[in-house]
Homo-oligomer: A and B are copies of this chain.
Amino acid sequence: MSGTLYGIGIGPGDPDLITLKAVRILQQVDLVVFPAPEHGPSLARSIAAPHLPGRCAEFAMRIPMTAARFPPDHVYDDAARRIGAELDAGRSVAALCEGDPFFYGSFAYLFARLAGSHRVEVIPGVSSLTACAARLGTPLAARNDVLTVIPAPLADTVIARQLEDTDAAAIVKLGRHFARIRALLVREGLDSRSAYVEHATMGTERLIPLARVEAATVPYFSMILFHRRGQAWQ
C-alpha cells in the first residue's frame, strides 16, 4: 500500500506555534523533507527541530537564491521523483512548510506534481498573516472589512489600487521591495495607519516604526499591516 505525503504547516517561527496534529504526524513519518538555501541550515527544519523524533530520514530541497522570482522546476521535479518513490514503497513523508502550506508556500509546487498520483494530506498551520497581527497587537479585520493580501513585488500602480479599494491589507514578501513600498505608503498618505514587523514570533523578531526601518536589512519574512481605520476594532 502506497504511503501518504503530509504537507505540514509548522507555523510562523515559534516552535510552540505548531499544532498537536502536526507534531503527532512528524513523530510517525518515515521521511522529513524541507526547503533549504543552497548552502546552510533550513529555517523550516530549525522551527520543527524540537518535534522531530531524530530517527527518521531527512532530505533538504536546496532552493537557489533566485527562487523567489523563478521557481526552480528541476529542484521540485527531483524532489517529487524522490518523494514519489518513497510513497510507492509504502513509506510516509512529511514536507515541512513555514506558516501554512497553502498560503504562498512552496509546498504548492510539490502538491502540483504529486497530488494527482499519490495520497496527499495538508495540515493547516498558523500563517504569518495572523502571527504578525498577534505580535503587532492589532486585529487584521473585523465585521465586514475587506482584507487584501498584496505581494510587494507587484507594480506600484497595482498595489496603490488594491490599497485604495480595501479596508485592511497585509503587504507580504517585502525584502528588497521595502523602500519602494514605504515610499508608496507615504505618497498615498497611508503610512500612519501601517505597521511593520519582521520574523514575527521568532527569536529575531523586531517591531519597528515604519519610518525607522533600515531598508537594506529587511528580510523576506517581514510584513506591513495596514488598516483604513487605523485599528480594526474601532
Q: Known interface pairs A102-B139, A148-B148. Does A17 touch B124 (Cβ–Cβ under 8 Å)?
A: yes
Residue ID in chain B nearest A140 by CB atoms: B102
Q: Scan A4-22; emit 1 where CB is below 8 A from any B CB, else 0.
A: 0000010110111111110
Would A232 and B12 count as touching, CB distance under 8 A?
Answer: no
Docked pose: A16 CA to B25 CA in angstroms: 11
Q: Are B16 and A16 in contact (CB under 8 A)?
A: no
Contacts A127-B127, A161-B165 given; indicate if A104 touches B141 (C-beta within 8 A): yes
Q: How far is the CA of A137 from the CA of B137 in the complex (A)?
A: 31
A233–B139 touching, CB < 8 Å: no
Cβ–Cβ contact A144 & B134, under 8 A:
no
A112 to chain B, nearest CB (A): 4
Instruction: Give the distance in Å from the alpha carbon of A175 to the alpha carbon of B139 in the complex.
Output: 23
User: Chain A, 122-141, contact with B by CB distance < 8 Å: what is the 0/1 string?
Assistant: 11111101110110011111
Q: Which residue of B lies closest to A153 (CB)?
A: B144
Q: Which residues of B contact A134 (CB under 8 A)?
A: 100-102, 122-124
How far is A92 from B178 in the complex, measured between Cα atoms in Å? 39
User: What interface size band does chain A fall in?
Assistant: 35 or more
- Residue contact B11 to A102, C-beta cutoff 8 Å: no
From B103, B143, B166, B233, A130 is in contact (CB under 8 Å) with: B103
Instruction: Encode contact with B along A160-178: 1 for CB under 8 Å, 0 otherwise.
Output: 0110011000000100000
A149 interface residue per 8 A CB criterion:
yes
16 contacts between A and B (CB under 8 A): A9-B126, A15-B20, A19-B20, A102-B232, A103-B130, A104-B141, A108-B139, A112-B233, A122-B134, A124-B130, A124-B134, A124-B201, A125-B126, A143-B151, A144-B153, A146-B148
Known contacts A9-B126, A102-B141, A148-B148; 6 additional CB pairs below 8 A are A17-B123, A71-B143, A100-B130, A105-B139, A120-B137, A144-B173
- In order of increasing CB-CB distance, the 8 nearest A-B pairs are A16-B21, A108-B233, A122-B134, A100-B130, A147-B149, A112-B233, A124-B134, A102-B133
Binding site for B on A (CB under 8 A): 9, 11-12, 14-21, 23-24, 71, 100-105, 108-109, 111-112, 115, 120, 122-127, 129-131, 133-134, 137-151, 153-154, 158, 161-162, 165-166, 173, 201, 232-234
